[in-house]
Chains A and B, each alone.
Chain A
Amino acid sequence: MKSTKFTPARKLSKEEIDRKWWEIGDYFRRNSLWMLMYCTGCCAIELPPAMTSAYDMERLGMGPMATPRQADILLISGYLSVKSLRRVIYTYEQMSEPKYVVGLGSCPINGGIYHDSHAVINQLDQYIPVDTYVSGCMPNTESVMNGFVDLMEQIKNKTAKGWIKYKENNEWYKSNQMAALGEVIIHDEFHE
Chain B
Amino acid sequence: MMNSMSNIEYVKGLIEKGFKVLETDVIDQYQVSFVVKQADVLQVLVTLKNAGWKQMSYLSAIDWPDETKIEMVYILMNWERAVHVQIRSKIDRNDPVMPSIITVYPGAKYYERECHEFFGVKFPGNPDYEKQLILEMWDDMPPLRKDFDPQAYSDRKFTKREYNQDYKILSEDNKLKEKREARKERAQSLKGGPKA
Please report the total number of B residues contacting A with Cβ < 8 Å.
19
In the complex where A118-B148, A122-B160, A123-B160 touch, is A187 in contact with B136 (Cβ < 8 A)?
Answer: yes
User: Across the interface, which residues of A come within 8 angstroms of B159, CB to CB?
Assistant: 122-123, 126, 176, 180
Within 8 A of B (CB), among A98-134: 109-111, 115-123, 126
User: Can you name the residue of chain B whose Cβ is closest to the Cβ of A83?
Assistant: B136
**In the complex, what distance in Å separates the CA atom of A186 from the CA atom of B158?**
19
- Are A118 and B136 in touch, CB under 8 angstroms? no
Q: Does B172 contact A (CB under 8 A)?
A: no
Q: Does B165 contact A (CB under 8 A)?
A: no
Least Cβ distance of B118 to chain A in Å?
A: 10
Least Cβ distance of B30 to chain A in Å?
A: 30
Q: Does B134 contact A (CB under 8 A)?
A: yes
In the complex where A116-B150, A118-B148, A118-B153 touch, is A123 in contact with B158 (Cβ < 8 A)?
Answer: yes
Please report the total number of A residues contacting B with Cβ < 8 Å.
26
User: Across the interface, which residues of A come within 8 angstroms of B154, CB to CB?
Assistant: 111, 115-118, 120, 122
User: Can you name the residue of chain A whose Cβ is closest to the Cβ of B160?
Assistant: A122
User: Across the interface, which residues of B come within 8 angstroms of A110, CB to CB?
Assistant: 160-161
- Are A188 and B136 in touch, CB under 8 angstroms? yes
User: Across the interface, which residues of B come within 8 angstroms of A60, CB to CB?
Assistant: none
User: Across the interface, which residues of B come within 8 angstroms of A180, CB to CB?
Assistant: 157-159
User: Across the interface, which residues of A come within 8 angstroms of B140, CB to CB?
Assistant: 118
**In the complex, what distance in Å separates the CA atom of A2 from the CA atom of B151?**
80
User: Across the interface, which residues of A come within 8 angstroms of B132, CB to CB?
Assistant: 187-188
- Are A123 and B161 in touch, CB under 8 angstroms? yes
Within 8 A of B (CB), among A74-116: 82-83, 86, 109-111, 115-116
- Are A118 and B150 in touch, CB under 8 angstroms? yes
Q: Does B131 contact A (CB under 8 A)?
A: yes
Least Cβ distance of B158 to chain A in Å?
A: 4
- Are A189 and B131 in touch, CB under 8 angstroms? yes
Least Cβ distance of A137 to chain B in Å?
A: 15
Q: Does B96 contact A (CB under 8 A)?
A: no
Query: CB within 8 A of B137: which of A115, A182, A189?
Result: A182
- Are B161 and A116 in touch, CB under 8 angstroms? no
User: Across the interface, which residues of A come within 8 angstroms of B139, CB to CB?
Assistant: 182
Q: Does A183 contact B (CB under 8 A)?
A: yes
User: Can you name the residue of chain A whose Cβ is closest to the Cβ of B163?
Assistant: A110
- Are A118 and B161 in touch, CB under 8 angstroms? no
Least Cβ distance of B132 to chain A in Å?
A: 7
User: Across the interface, which residues of B come within 8 angstroms of A109, CB to CB?
Assistant: 161
User: Across the interface, which residues of A come within 8 angstroms of B160, CB to CB?
Assistant: 110-111, 115, 122-123
Within 8 A of A (CB), among B83-136: 131-132, 134-136
User: Across the interface, which residues of B come within 8 angstroms of A182, CB to CB?
Assistant: 137, 139
User: Across the interface, which residues of A come within 8 angstroms of B136, CB to CB?
Assistant: 82-83, 86, 186-188
**In the complex, what distance in Å separates the CA atom of A110 from the CA atom of B159?**
9
Least Cβ distance of B157 to chain A in Å?
A: 6
User: Across the interface, which residues of B come within 8 angstroms of A111, CB to CB?
Assistant: 154, 158, 160-161
Report A's interface with B, CB cutoff 8 A: 82-83, 86, 109-111, 115-123, 126, 176, 179-183, 186-189
Report B's interface with A, CB cutoff 8 A: 131-132, 134-137, 139-140, 143, 148, 150-151, 153-154, 157-161
A selection of 18 A-B contacts at a CB cut-off of 8 Å is A109-B161, A110-B161, A111-B158, A111-B160, A111-B161, A116-B151, A117-B150, A118-B150, A118-B153, A118-B154, A122-B154, A122-B159, A123-B158, A126-B159, A176-B159, A180-B158, A181-B137, A188-B136
Shortest Cβ-Cβ A-B pairs, 3 listed: A116-B151, A110-B161, A118-B150
